[in-house]
Chains A and B, each alone.
Chain A
Amino acid sequence: MAIGLLVCDDSMMARKQLIRALPPEWPVSISQACHGEEGLQMIRQGLASVVLLDLTMPVMDGFEVLAALRSEGLTPKVIVVSGDVQEEAIRRVTELGALAFIKKPAEPEELRQTLERLGLLNPADSAVASPEPVPSRPAFELKINFRDALREISNVAMGRAAALLAKVLGVFVELPVPAVNIFEVSELHMTLADAQRGERCSALCQGFIGDGIAGEALLLFHDSEISDIAKLFNWQPGNDVETAEMLLDLASILIGACLSGISEQIDVRFSQGHPQLLGLHSSIDSLIHVNQRRWRKTLAVEISYSLEGHNVHFDLLLLFTEDSIQRLSHKINYLLN
């Protein structure tokens, strides 16, 4: 009798990786959902007794799914598989009834041990070759697009950056789904102006390059929030020099962790240039001059971090050059196959 398994994640790549990491002899019939609400409906229909649940999803995130299961008295066995590796996230899902937490990307061995520990997989089964072949798993036919894959890689990377930030500042970082877009460089200002919401900003950038992949990380801070950031850092910057120093330290954590998260996943070691303060307390137009002569298009990964209970947001943009896209896509294909 096959066990009903639901894999609930907005990323097709994450679902594919996860399904591929399942013990091959585990007799399950797999359903997939691409956001929490869809997943919840499948659970209500009785399609799943075991759920592998992502946290960062559009429409309804993993925390909300767990809360809904509890309030509706539904009791599937939930294992959270997430890139959000903040200690507080793990504590919260455990409190909401999740039985285990696995960090992305899930290792087959860790997944197997977790399933065995929870009594969902019988170790004796694995010893005996399964008599009938397990039906081919649907996800293998799924075509993963580049954007989806890069979104998932960024998602894991930003989760690691958030965990460090949470540790340093003693806060809980709310993670959005990263936005991945290819746009004309001339549109970059528009995108940035949106992120800025008409306020004055301070911005830092840092170049990176490795293995034919080059770009810049750009971090935007809203001026109205700088005093809140300072409070969290337990600093009282007395002047602009000290403010700049504080933003530099914060940028080093966020950009450094995010880039190393990406580089580990795609197996590239980046050189990082010195970060450069583009300016303090200015409008986007005066902060950022894009070299439009050289680039027509850029690949942008946009991550907006917010801190729970504080009026603080950071916008981190990873901008890749047009000529990096092919190399990056090659690396990602390698990762998938």
Chain B
Amino acid sequence: MAAQIDINEVHWLLDIVQCIDVGVIVLDRQYQIEVWNSFMENHSGMGPDQVYGQSLFSLFSEIDEPWFRRKVDTVLQLGTRAFSLWEQHPYLVHFKNYQPITGLADYMYQNVTLLPLAGATGSIEHICVVIYDATQAAMHKQQLDALSAAS
């Protein structure tokens, strides 16, 4: 990416964050939502105005809070990325399968990446949560496991 970004480019970059087909959430240190892209909006049915400033845990009671806090704490302290895979934790937030009619899974399996976002002073004030739809991989793996178990 260019070192110098002009205002037009910021416009596109925002558009990309908005339209890209992965979930993008930015949280502050209190787990309050500051950015909520259209993937999150469309799959959760909640618009940015409904979630802005709300705690992630209050909106999604299915999130295993101690588990999530532990991961976020490391990111905040060390400035390293953290990950969650569908094999250990099928999803962060409960969304319906993206292919509701022909898809065999009942919900969206998710891989999650937590990115540290440094402020101007270099300290980490925000966390970006990126949610990937891993349903297809999960289904293939399960089918494969079922086959090898049967043989």
Contacts and interface: CB of A to CB of B under 8 A. Distances in A.
B99 A271 contact: no
Interface stretch (A68-76, A103-111, A214-222, A304-312): A214-222
Nearest to A298: B101
B114 to A, nearest CB: 22
Interface stretch (B35-43, B51-59, B70-78, B79-87): B35-43
B101 A290 contact: yes
Interface in A196-255: 205, 207, 209-212, 214-216, 218
A321 B38 CA distance: 20
Contact of A289 (B45, B102, B136): B102
Interface stretch (A31-39, A55-63, A119-127, A272-280): A272-280
Contacts of B98: 207, 209, 273
Nearest to A324: B100
B76 to A, nearest CB: 30
Given A269-B38, A272-B21, A273-B21, A216 B45 contact: no
Contacts, number: 63
Is the interface on chain A under 10, 10 to 19, 20 to 34, or 35 or more residues?
20 to 34
B69 interface: no
A211 B100 contact: no
A323 to B, nearest CB: 9
Contact of A216 (B101, B104, B133, B136): B101
A294 interface: yes
A271 B103 CA distance: 17
Q: Is the interface of B mostly helix, strand, loop or mixed?
A: loop
B42 A210 contact: yes
B100 A289 contact: no
A270 interface: yes
A270 B106 contact: no
Contact of A205 (B42, B96, B102, B106): B102
Nearest to B18: A269
B102 A290 contact: yes
Of A188, A211, A276, A291, chain B has the most CB atoms within 10 Å of the CB of: A291
Nearest to A272: B21
Report the 7 A-B pairs with minimum CB-CB distance, sorted nearest first: A207-B98, A273-B98, A271-B42, A207-B99, A210-B42, A321-B100, A216-B101
Interface of A: 185, 188, 205, 207, 209-212, 214-216, 218, 269-274, 276, 278, 288-291, 294-295, 298, 319, 321
Interface of B: 21, 38-39, 42-43, 45, 96-104, 106, 133, 136
